[in-house]
Structure 1
Amino acid sequence: MRNTVVKSGLRQKQWQGAVVRRLLSLQTMKTPSENALKFVATDKTRFLPEGMQQAIDIESLAEANEKSPLASQLYKINGVRSVMIGSDFITVNKVDNSLSNNPELDWTSLKPKVEQYIASFAKTKQPFLDQHYLEEYQKELDTLDENDDDVVYEIKELINTKIRPALQDDGGDIHFRSFDESTGTVFIKLRGACKSCSLSEDTLKGGIESMLKHYVPEVEEVRAVLDPEEEIAIAEFEKLEKKLKQNASASGPSDPKVRPEAHA
């Protein structure tokens, strides 16, 4: 039997009164991705309104300016690539420093800056998320809908109750996009640390796909999709990565000097 569906009117009411400001205590946790850290609120601070479980993924400063004043502040830190805001945690993805070897892009330097920005913002009266964006975003949530067909309903329920909690423990999240009943393909969106982890394909196929296929016989495959803004952000990042590689090659070791031959 299906669970009772939470009506949007109740959810909207919860969201409007959700932000409580207090001194913030943070704990930092590693994720499967070496370029992502999870900053967890150890008090009762919530970054998302009560009743909202899906994390907000932010890929650029322009996107941050539309969605979250907090994320806009975090993008002032050199090296921040993306931000994901969860119920009681924030996952920050940084640029890969393996090519540039810039100490300012190491977590040793970035971690205290991120903590300071989050803690400082928490002292203000600003909401973590833009209210207008929240009102639009709730229309796209993976909430259980009594109008969903049985397969989609079951997929959403598995995502909400089994898959999402496991991914959020690792600083990531998952969003349901659609189900193609003609091919048995589920289209999902990975968020946060999950998308930058080197094991993301294993997570997708060995974890998510295996579970959905086990519980929902109609599912044949699970595929990850990219949003248009994310495709743009990835393209820009690839340009930066190519430039760093070129700079690294240009500043490589010089040709060995030819020794003068010894004279007899």
Structure 2
Amino acid sequence: MRGATVWRLARRARVPFQRATQSAVFIPRGPSATPSFHRNAFSSATRAPPFRFSTGQRRSMFIQTQATPNPSSLMFYPGKPVMEVGSADFPNPRSAMNSPLAKSLFAIDGVTRVFFGSDFVTVTKSEDGAWEFLKPEIFAAIMDFYSSAQPLFLDSQAAAAKDTAIHQDDSETVAMIKELLETRIRPAVQDDGGDIEYRGFDPDTGIVKLKMQGACSGCPSSSVTLKSGIENMLMHYVPEVKGVEQELDAEDDGTTLSGQIN
């Protein structure tokens, strides 16, 4: 993440970003306002050859894997859409009760966290887990899910909300922060098997609160990405931003990573 995500964010920071001159809460999207970036456009990471999984009379399925900056996390590409909108993070088995796929992955001994992206699933293992033993079980769980035709979520209302959606009551500053997170920062973070969740902005202190998800949660270089990548880009384009802090939920273990400027 230190060498890949931060460099991609720095590369994107050179692309001009037009600040709104009026107190509008909508920032235009499209080729003229926001350049499009493709997965792995700036990443040196490569996916492993597809793994063909087939049992009995089930349909064959090609599943690709890709390493992440976090050695305990691995990305699995089923070749099919995963999340239609946004992403979903499952930090523990209890949080996965509403998702058949996440629940089945947690049933594998050694799996400690699951994350859904647009077209991939990131699985995080325990320190003593070995990928050579875990991968066949993960492949089987993903294959079983897609062959069962079950919904990704039992309760459709539980699907992840779009945290960066711009609302009418958002200030110009908040709208700009959300637009940057969605169009420039989130794609780079998702390339490494994780995501970020916008948690709020304090106009008095200038602090943006974010939550790191997926492979980025617990990654040794998360603090570097938070400060050298995300914070620098937000402060560059939005002068009102003075720093970035990561916010942890009660179920998240680990030390709070802070990128606040003193």
2:133 paired with 1:126: no
- State whether residues 35 and 196 of structure 1, in contact with CA within 8 Å, keep that contact through their aligned partners in structure 2: no
Which residue number in structure 2 is paired with residue 56 of structure 1?
Answer: 88
Query: More helix per residue: 1 or 2?
Result: 1
Which residue number in structure 2 is paired with residue 18 of structure 1?
Answer: none
Runs of 4+ in 1 over 6 A off after TM superposition: none
Q: Which residues in structure 2 correspond to 1:172-211 (within 5 Å)?
A: 172-211=194-233
Q: Which residues in structure 2 correspond to 1:112-261 (within 5 Å)?
A: 112-134=136-158, 137-138=160-161, 141-231=163-253
SS at match of 1:111: helix
CA distance in 2, matches of 1:142, 1:23: 37
What percent identity do the matched residue pairs reach?
A: 40
SS at match of 2:148: coil
TM-score, normalised relative to structure 2: 0.72
- State whether residues 173 and 238 of structure 2, in contact with CA within 8 Å, keep that contact through their aligned partners in structure 1: yes
SS at match of 1:228: coil
Figure out how many residues of one structure are paired with residues of the other and give that number. Answer: 202
CA shift digits 1:226-246 (9 cap, x unpaired): 112325xx69xxxxxxxxxxx
Which residue number in structure 2 is paired with residue 47 of structure 1?
Answer: 82
- State whether residues 113 and 125 of structure 2, in contact with CA within 8 Å, keep that contact through their aligned partners in structure 1: yes
**Structure 1: runs of 5 or more not aligned:** 6-21, 98-104, 236-264
CA shift digits 1:69-93 (9 cap, x unpaired): 1000001100000000111000000
CA distance in 1, matches of 2:61, 2:153: 17
- State whether residues 30 and 38 of structure 1, in contact with CA within 8 Å, keep that contact through their aligned partners in structure 2: yes
Pair 39,209 (structure 1): closer, same or farther in 2 beyond 3 Å: same
CA distance in 2, matches of 1:94, 1:160: 28
Pair 55,23 (structure 1): closer, same or farther in 2 beyond 3 Å: farther
CA distance in 2, matches of 1:3, 1:184: 20
2:106 paired with 1:75: yes
2:134 paired with 1:110: yes
Deviation at 1:175, TM superposition (A): 0.6
2:105 paired with 1:32: no
- State whether residues 27 and 175 of structure 2, in contact with CA within 8 Å, keep that contact through their aligned partners in structure 1: no
Higher-Rg structure is: 1
SS at match of 2:97: helix
SS at match of 2:234: helix
SS at match of 1:123: helix
- State whether residues 110 and 126 of structure 2, in contact with CA within 8 Å, keep that contact through their aligned partners in structure 1: yes
Which residue number in structure 2 is paired with residue 247 of structure 1?
Answer: none
- State whether residues 56 and 86 of structure 1, in contact with CA within 8 Å, keep that contact through their aligned partners in structure 2: yes
CA distance in 2, matches of 1:163, 1:134: 25
Deviation at 1:95, TM superposition (A): 0.7
CA distance in 2, matches of 1:25, 1:196: 29
Deviation at 1:151, TM superposition (A): 0.4
Deviation at 1:23, TM superposition (A): 5.9
TM-score, normalised relative to structure 1: 0.72
Q: How large is the RMSD of aligned CA atoms in angstroms?
A: 2.0
SS at match of 1:110: helix
CA shift digits 1:82-121 (9 cap, x unpaired): 0001110000001112xxxxxxx20111112111110111
Higher relative contact order (CA 8 A, sep 6+): 2
- State whether residues 79 and 94 of structure 1, in contact with CA within 8 Å, keep that contact through their aligned partners in structure 2: yes
Deviation at 1:61, TM superposition (A): 1.3
